[in-house]
Structure 1
Amino acid sequence: MINNFTSDTFKGNIFNENLLNELSIIAEKNNYIDPMYYSKYDVKRGLRNENGTGVLVGLTEIGNVHGYTTSDGKRIPDQGRLEYRGIDIMKIVEGFQTESRYGFEEVAYLLLFGELPSKKRLEEFKYLLGECRILPDGFTEDMILKFPSNNIMNKLQRTILATYSFDSNPDDTSIKNILRQSIELIARFPTMISYGYQAKAHYHGNQSLFLHIPKQELSTAENILYMIRSDNQYTKTEAEILDLALVLHAEHGGGNNSAFATHVVSSSGTDTYSAIAAAVGSLKGPKHGGANLEVMNMVDNIKENIKAWDNTAEIRDYLIKILNKKANNGSGLIYGMGHAIYTLSDPRAVLLKEKAKKLAIEKDRLDEFNLYNNIEEISKDIFAELRGNDSISANVDFYSGFVYDTLNIPRELYTPLFATSRVAGWCAHRIEQVASEPKIIRPAYKNIKLDEKYIPLDNR
């Protein structure tokens, strides 16, 4: 009986390896659907149309991603454009950088409320974020340190769900309550990932444990650098470029996987913590939030296999090997190049690359930045020559990993940083879903299994 089991029962592998192999073969065989059926029934695989565009499933006013125009059903490449609430990201970044201030808090307000804040409103909003950064009493000890995880995204997801238990009104789905929960989550994500990282480094890496209390007067970017570093020290350039990275990752339309997950889960009427935890689970997937790690691993591989970082001919030869599945991980992909929507340019990559160069000069890593630049430019030429694709460009992931590495941010924090930025967009999409669309999202799946007879146990 189940009550005869103890916690020790599950510490080892209770599965016989041969049995597990047999069961996995059965499971895979009986869950595989022949691709021909997708064509037969005109299934929009991945919710994509035949020309690669996304199937229209909803409306939004939060973010807009533009990378091409269409004519006669064909995609025509165009310069990339990203808008938050109808405002070009280039103009937003120019606005706060010209005034020498941090921009993430302003962007979070814009996404949540649909309008730019006045100076007074922005100060009020920043004060709210500052007040909410510290986790509830006992939370750090009971929910983070007692259950450290080797994966910070997994830890973040569990931490969000645990926050439900510390909320006196968790299930109220009024806009007012969701807004309060959203502001608290945006404020607490930096603390959650910083403490999650420190717990991992201590309990899984045998390092000293540093738990720095967030400071109310610091920006989100400053607080992250303050909390993850043992000495709390950072430069203004470091904080500015991290702030820019947060701004550029905060939102990317309603069709990206994690934002869509937020819409789907929110449409069921569930609580905020369940919806945002689902988005984190989506972002954890390597096809979504882990792309910059793949770029870093690829560049590490390139460094190991070329003799000179400035030898463009050698770089070109090796990139061709990567495309031909003869180098790196055999995937045939040059990570960080290309995007589902952007074609001629990704505005996020354009903005981040400019700052990345300045940071590289400050950190004496200009040679490495030039290697990235060479990989980008040579990849464009290779795709044009070998694949006939002259409308491919670097995406934001191509340079974000380099930026984080130059900031001495551990790689296991790259995707959690993405989540810390994107939670502002997720919360905006949740509010929009609840306010605008009462219907639960329920797409159709066609059952193609033929009728089977039930066979008595002794006859199987």
Structure 2
Amino acid sequence: MSEISKGLENVFIKATSLTYVDGEEGVLRYEGYDINDLVNHCSFEEVIHLMLYGDLPTKEKLAEVKNRLNQSYSVPSSVIRIMEDLPHNAEAISMMETAFGGLSCFYGVPWDKAKNKERAIEIIAKAATVTANVYRIKEGLKPRIPDPSDSYVESFLEATFSRRPSEKEIAAMNAALILYTDHEVPASTTAALVASSTLSDMYSCIVAALAALKGPLHGGAAEAAYQQFKEIEEPDNVEKWFNEKVIAGKKRLMGFGHRVYKTYDPRSKIFKNYAMKLANGENRKYLDIAIKLEELGLKEFSKRGIYPNVDFYSGIVFSSLGFPDYMFTPLFALARTLGWLAHIIEYVEEQHRLIRPRALYIGPEKRDYIPLDVRQ
């Protein structure tokens, strides 16, 4: 009898040069570059070039990436109107799905190896516009197209909040985008790959990825982790909450554990550092809660290979930047758009084959038809 790998665990569906993950040692690299070096030294635009073209850009190539981004923020007004016509209490990711479905109607052209990567940069620009306007529309603000600037992050934040971000905010958002750019082939990337294997257009592949990301077992973890800090309310409540909820088996400790990492997720340490730099007011309190909760979680779970993951501290960073918690998953999607595009381009251009798995039949053997009138 054939074996089934539930959840496709440890099934390799493609070869990649994009992202290397060592779950035992806690290593994450994009195209060979350690995630810490990229966060500490690179702009998101440099990582865009790295993921699409295979290396960090020269000054001239970086200028080309920035120029194409600056030329591509605009979206058809009808797409914005569609977003405005959606219920303001709609899920943010659903609004993004709708927007990208609309963009597919305008820009969903066939694959073209000579143009795929340039088009990917254009999609990344439009993703900033869509994400900024999910926030603005849900908050009752007038939609706005990002203005060209020397920084993708600055253009995005300024369009979102109608104010110039501080250098500290730009640095934190830049780091967040790099940290969430890619992580091999989780559910959303796999969904995008399945769509791309049919040669569906790139915008439609993003819709497929968003549909997978929307599920609470994938994209909602940062929001869930942040909600648990809110539920605990005060640092003095952490130990009691942990014992009564987590140890008693009533709740999972959100932001802990990962399918791949059996040690610290390296992204979690970086997000913790930015949370410590940015947090103030309520988020300062939530940071104190998170630190205490991390200590208890490590004592209880580290011996089983369960450690903080990327989502444990990221919500504190996003909230400190001014985003409500419903925006945490869209921000994940904004960053991961680059990873989705890089993977589908790599697959279609280098390894293309229609993804068509099989299902193992476990139903009854052949049965004879029985007329309706004589069935018992």
Q: TM-score range by the shorter chain?
A: over 0.9
Instruction: Give secondary structure in 2 for the equivalent of 1:132.
Output: coil
Match of 1:249 in 2: 180
**In 1, Cα distance between the equivalents of 2:238 and 2:99?**
43
1:297 aligns with 2:227: yes
Residue of 272, 294, 297 corresponding to 1:376: 294
Match of 2:113 in 1: 175
**1:260-339 correspondence runs (5 A):** 260-303=190-233, 309=235, 311=236, 315-325=238-248, 330=250, 332-339=251-258
**In 2, Cα distance between the equivalents of 1:172 and 1:212?**
29
Q: 1:412 to 1:368 in 2, by over 3 A?
A: closer
Q: After superposition, what is the alpha-carbon deviation per residue over 1:204-259, rounded to whole angstroms, capped at 9, x for unaligned? A: xxxxx322331101522222321222x42432212211111111001111x21111
1:393 aligns with 2:312: no
Residue identity in the other structure for 1:42:
E
- Aligned partners of 2:229 and 2:286 also within 8 Å: no
Provide the alpha-carbon RMSD of the alignment. 2.0
Residue identity in the other structure for 1:345:
Y
- Aligned partners of 1:172 and 1:178 also within 8 Å: no
Q: 1:459 to 1:198 in 2, by over 3 A?
A: farther
Instruction: Give secondary structure in 2 for the equivalent of 1:175.
Output: coil
Residue 315 of structure 1: how far off its partner (Å):
2.5
Match of 1:71 in 2: none
Identity %: 31
After TM superposition, the score normalised by the length of structure 2 is 0.93
Residue identity in the other structure for 2:354:
I
1:151 aligns with 2:91: yes
Q: After superposition, what is the alpha-carbon deviation per residue over 1:259-313, rounded to whole angstroms, capped at 9, x for unaligned? A: 111221111122112211101111111111110111012112222xxxx51x4xx
- Aligned partners of 1:148 and 1:199 also within 8 Å: no
Residue of 243, 253, 265 corresponding to 1:346: 265
Residue of 36, 46, 59 corresponding to 1:106: 46
Q: After superposition, what is the alpha-carbon deviation per residue over 1:107-146, rounded to whole angstroms, capped at 9, x for unaligned? A: 11111111110011101111110110111354423x3223
Residue 316 of structure 1: how far off its partner (Å):
2.8
Q: 1:172 to 1:399 in 2, by over 3 A?
A: same
Q: 1:162 to 1:321 in 2, by over 3 A?
A: same
Q: 1:179 to 1:458 in 2, by over 3 A?
A: farther
Q: Which ranges of structure 2 fall in alignment gaps of 5 or more residues?
A: none
Work out the number of aligned pairs and report it. Answer: 373
**In 2, Cα distance between the equivalents of 1:414 and 1:452?**
52
Residue 452 of structure 1: how far off its partner (Å):
3.6
**In 1, Cα distance between the equivalents of 2:118 and 2:354?**
23
**1:205-224 correspondence runs (5 A):** 209-224=141-156
**In 2, Cα distance between the equivalents of 1:367 and 1:151?**
27
Match of 2:29 in 1: 83
Residue of 416, 421, 425 corresponding to 2:330: 416
Instruction: Give secondary structure in 2 for the equivalent of 1:176.
Output: coil
After TM superposition, the score normalised by the length of structure 1 is 0.76
Q: Which is greater in Rg?
A: 1
Match of 2:8 in 1: 47
Residue identity in the other structure for 2:72:
C
